[in-house]
Chains A and B, each alone.
Chain A
Amino acid sequence: MSTAASSRRYILQIIFLGVAVVILIRLFFLQNFESKYKIMANDIAIYKKVVYPPRGVVYDRKGKVMLSNSTVYDLMVVPRNIKQMDTPAFCNAMGIDLPTFLKTMKLISVRNIDVRQSIFMEQLSPEQTARFWENAYLFPGFEMVERNLREYKNESAGLLLGYIAEVSPEMLKHPRYASYRQGDYAGRSGLELQYEEVLRGQRGVHFLERDKFNRPRDPYRGGSLDTQEVSGKSLELYLDAELQMYAEKLMKNKIGSVVALDPKTGGVLAMVSSPGYDPNLLRGKERAKNYATLYRDPTRPLFNRATQAAYPPGSTIKPMTGLVALNVGAITPNFGLACYGSYNYCGHPIKCEHKDGGHAANFRLALAHSCNSYFCHVFRLTIDYKSFASVKEGLQKWHDYYYSFGFGHPVGIDIPFEKGGALPDTNQYNRMYRFNWNSCTVVFVGMGQGEILLTPLQMANAMCIIANKGYYYTPHVVKSIGGNTNDPMLKKYLQKQNVLDIPDSTFEIVQRAMQDVVESGTAIGAKIDSVNICAKTGTAENKAIVNGEVIKMANHSMFVAFAPRENPKIAIAVAIENAGFGATWAAPIASLLMEKYLKDSVSSKRKTVEDKMVNAKLINKYVYSIDSMYRARDQRVYQAKMERKHLRDSINRASDSAAYFNWVRKHFVK
């Protein structure tokens, strides 16, 4: 009995130990080899919270805030958590109707699983926010989430500052947006796009533990894994917000552009593309709708004319023509031309505004009176100059000068999507005229017509070159990033850009002549008391191609200037489309802006001029018809393209089936 009993004692002990060992083995594998449980533990218990820092603020040159942030609330919903909610009360509080509520909920349930938080309503109005807070306890599952929204302090400089919007799927494929995720916001135009990396700051990632109800609680591991968010850096601009607003006021109801630069730094003082838009339209929940409206507007407010529109410069190119001619030695300042109203050396006559003899007796007079004959001739003399082997080499040399002035290529301003205008070179003419051309063929270029096209920015930049006597700084809007003027992103704007070596004396001659333009020439109306202005008016002929027909449109009114002559502080270019003479519209506007900038206010005696400019409505009625025609044409082109595609597809399909048919016949039909 006792031996049997004690042996049974051992059997029991073995059973006890055996079970313990089985459990321990199971535990050993569970705890040391099944990493999936560790991952799951982290998944369920750790909540990764991405914290978006406020975007950088934009200040103008005087420290005035132009662009900052404001707080809005999004209403988020976790459908699973909605329990016994008074839906009508909710709809009532949020100001929506029941079908909208149901539709939204259905959309959310399709898009996202019901335990995850989805956006129910974006950017609530203050009333909605207040009403929700009052009744928040009645609506389980709904939650307010704070978000920053860009706030434009003035209704101006929309194109310059740009806007932000959610990143698109196409953008996400781009390496620049590698760190972005769907739903993130990014700059889409203007400075917001150009300085996106600076403005956005650095996102912070906070790891929080959450409990079984998915509520974030303590920081995970005491926050040791967290990365702190870094606020976006501010941008300090050269832009003068007051001047910008004044310029926009003057350009109201006109199509065109104003660019004002500081010649000493290349800083942009004002940049207007008219008609503009209120930048506050392109933020918030109405953005997409407003964007579509602006996009369809025939006057194209989203098109930045200051950097993208290419205008024939007209007479405003004449100082440059003279500069090159003087420098290569084709003419002397005393060179004169007897002009009696037209230039007749090249077949059909070219009209000149002045008929009295002697208005082009020397370079100064010719520029002051903007004699077409004189500058056409001077241009011809330049490219036919004896030191060049042929007109082809002469034109190439001329092209090189102009290229160094910043023409024919984007200047490199820190606003995205800049265009370069057009600048013809020998190759282009060779292609156009099959090598069969001479100086008479291209004579119009000398007076700023023909193949040469400049952006207003390039025109203003050219004024900087003349003002500085031979150099310029690449135009740029941003003076410093977060107070640091030596930021790597700004390095290229601190480098002096020298044009092909032209002696100061040559610039003196041109400046002298340009001063005469205001004092005794075409732009007497642009005169400002006690300031020496150098300027040039322009009246650019232009054509539109409508339905294959070339239609001559009303002239563009152009004006370029800089002031004061001795110590240039502002260089300006004004272009008003289809408005007529440069002296009539562009010159007074530029003059008012210069006065405003140089003297801080416009003298009262120019009030009548100011009113006239502000109230002038110069949008050509053809703009609308031409725009609709262009759009119709684009649509036709698109339809034709789609038709061709369909046709190609059907032909491919037909040939495929024919090939198959042939194969079958060849192999199976005897």
Chain B
Amino acid sequence: MSNARKSLVSRLDGITILLYLLLTCIGLIAIFSVEHHSTDLVIFSGEKSYMRQTMWLGVSLLVGAFILLTDSKFFASTAFLSYTFGIVLLVLTIFIGIGVKGSKSWLGVGGIRVQPGEVCKIFTALALSKFLSLQETNFKSTRDRVIGIAMVMFPALIVILQNETGLALVYLCFFLVMYREGLPNVFLVVGISSVALVLGTLLIDRKVLFIILTAITALVGFLIRFELRRNNIARILLISIWGVCIIFSQLAVPFMFKHALKPHHIDRIYSMLGKEVPVEYQRKTEDGEERKGNSSEYNVLQSKIAIGSGGMFGKGLLNGTSTKNQFVPEQNTDFIFTAIAEQFGFAGSFVLIGLYISLMFRIMFIAERQRSPFSRIYAYCVSSILFFHFAVNISMTVGLAPVIGITLPFLSYGGSSLLSFSILIFILLKLDSDRHAMIR
């Protein structure tokens, strides 16, 4: 309780603030390098997105200050209310949203545009924390588990209806939180394995994947050989899992690709990964026209060129030929990582990824020192959201994940994204400053 008597500033977590400011500054530099031309005479112009991003950073810090001055209990007590507000906002967006590139996920308020799907993550995180920390909630009961999952998936579904699949996928990250709070192992194992299997099927050669899968099965079999000897079910389970994997990757997907899917579907799937369609799936389209690379494939190729040409130590600030001349589409939003990787090389990327991992670990550390479950669960939510954004965004720039419009936290240009991540962090800081209090 001695901690509570100290001033607010001294109770804030310095490391988190430092990492937050470092990342946002790197983001500003990256956006500046994308937009600046040697011929530009005016650097500080309101027209430029790096200036607008600076403005948004100011707004974020202002909002952050307000959050820090708010009572911690406010967030817990209004969690369900804000969640409801978020859902209403999402639903509203479907009807009165502004269409951007085929999706209707933006709300215009005056001159400012907000993406409710982005903001709703905060509300969902708060609501999930609140629900799981309720004393009457028993997360071991199937009923409460279903309610928890439904709470998370409901906004995701609405976002899908807005045609923003990428953003909806982010809501999957709450499964990590629920796993931490007692969701069975099966969810995690099955989830991760199926993602790995799908990506593996698409990215790895079929015969190599067969060998890898069999090797993994053999390894698992070896590790649990005593169990296998005793337990008939374990044997059947292991073999059937292996069988399902093999059937999926060796038979089902090739069959689907060869017979069920149209060539342009296959194109779309592979191009999201920035890969050429393998020869065995290549078919002439009905009108016999040659296949033309679509935009995602081009994006990923340009992204790979920018990253790959960076080398070990990069080309130096403002010397990136791809960055400076805007070869990478959407470079200051979704592909902002390419600017860092081209100009600062592997060393720069390593430092950046190091900063993200430090931030996530720091947040998890903060989570574990909380007295109230609400704060702990919320901290895990923040960490998981950051992780999901970070992992998917960078993976898609290097061609490890499909291109879905997910921003890189703190770096990508965009007020909506920066503000929502800032709010997430500042609420966390506020909760952490009252970590010895019991918040319900």
Contact = CB atoms under 8 A, between A and B. Distances in A.
The CB with the most chain B CB atoms within 10 A, among A9, A23, A212, is that of A23
A211 B325 contact: yes
Contacts of B345: 31
Interface stretch (A12-20, A146-154, A464-472, A508-516): A12-20
Interface in A219-278: 220-221
A12 B305 contact: no
A26 B274 CA distance: 14
A545 interface: no
Contacts of B356: 20
16 contacts: A5-B181, A8-B180, A12-B180, A16-B357, A23-B391, A23-B394, A27-B307, A27-B398, A30-B304, A31-B341, A32-B346, A37-B307, A45-B321, A45-B322, A218-B37, A218-B38
B309 interface: yes
A84 interface: no
Interface in A395-428: none
B266 interface: no
Given A23-B394, A209-B321, 10 more contacts: A9-B367, A12-B380, A15-B176, A16-B361, A20-B356, A26-B400, A31-B311, A31-B349, A41-B321, A41-B322
A37 B391 contact: no
A24 B350 CA distance: 7
A30 B308 contact: yes
A13 B305 contact: no
B326 A38 contact: no
Contacts of A9: 180, 364, 367-368
Contacts of B304: 30, 37
B117 interface: no
A31 B310 contact: yes
A212 B387 contact: no
A20 B357 contact: yes
Nearest to B392: A19
Nearest to A43: B305
A210 B325 contact: yes
A666 B346 CA distance: 74
Contacts of A16: 357, 360-361, 383, 387
Nearest to A220: B321
Contacts of B308: 30-31, 34, 36-38, 40-41
B324 interface: yes
Contact of B307 (A19, A31, A44, A220): A31
Contacts, number: 116
A12 to B, nearest CB: 6
B9 interface: no
Interface in B342-387: 345-346, 349-350, 353, 356-357, 360-361, 364, 367-368, 380, 383, 387
Interface string B32-45: 00000111000000
Given A31-B341, A41-B321, A209-B325, A26 B398 contact: yes
A44 B327 contact: yes
5 nearest A-B pairs in the assembled complex, by CB-CB distance? A37-B308, A41-B309, A45-B321, A211-B325, A31-B346
A543 to B, nearest CB: 69
Contact of A23 (B181, B325, B400): B400
A638 interface: no
Given A12-B179, A42-B321, A212-B325, A27 B312 contact: no
A32 B311 contact: yes
A653 interface: no
B84 to A, nearest CB: 29
Given A12-B179, A44-B322, A23 B353 contact: yes
A13 B327 CA distance: 36
Contacts of B360: 16
Interface in B150-188: 176, 179-182, 188
Interface residues of B, number: 47
B330 to A, nearest CB: 12
A664 interface: no
A180 interface: no
Interface in A43-59: 44-46
A15 B38 CA distance: 43
B67 interface: no
Contacts of A17: 357
Given A12-B364, A31-B341, A24 B353 contact: yes
Contacts of A12: 176, 179-180, 364, 380
Contact of B346 (A28, A38, A221): A28
A36 B311 CA distance: 11
Nearest to B386: A16
B100 interface: no
Contacts of B309: 37-38, 40-42
B137 interface: no
Nearest to B314: A31
B327 A212 contact: yes
B182 to A, nearest CB: 8
A219 to B, nearest CB: 9
A217 B357 contact: no
A20 B400 CA distance: 12
A530 interface: no
The CB with the most chain B CB atoms within 10 A, among A11, A30, A34, A217, is that of A30
A144 B391 CA distance: 49
B353 A20 contact: yes
Contacts of B380: 12
A212 B391 contact: no
A6 interface: yes
Interface in B117-168: none
A22 interface: yes
A19 B364 contact: no
Contacts of B353: 20, 23-24
Nearest to B308: A37
Contacts of B357: 16-17, 20
Nearest to A211: B325
B78 interface: no
A33 to B, nearest CB: 9
Interface in B322-343: 322, 324-327, 341
A304 B349 CA distance: 71
B424 interface: no
B77 interface: no
B180 A5 contact: yes
Contact of A27 (B39, B324, B327, B349): B349
Nearest to B345: A31
B335 to A, nearest CB: 13
A41 B398 contact: no
A9 B361 CA distance: 10
Contact of A13 (B322, B341, B350, B364): B364
A37 B326 CA distance: 16
A27 B325 contact: no
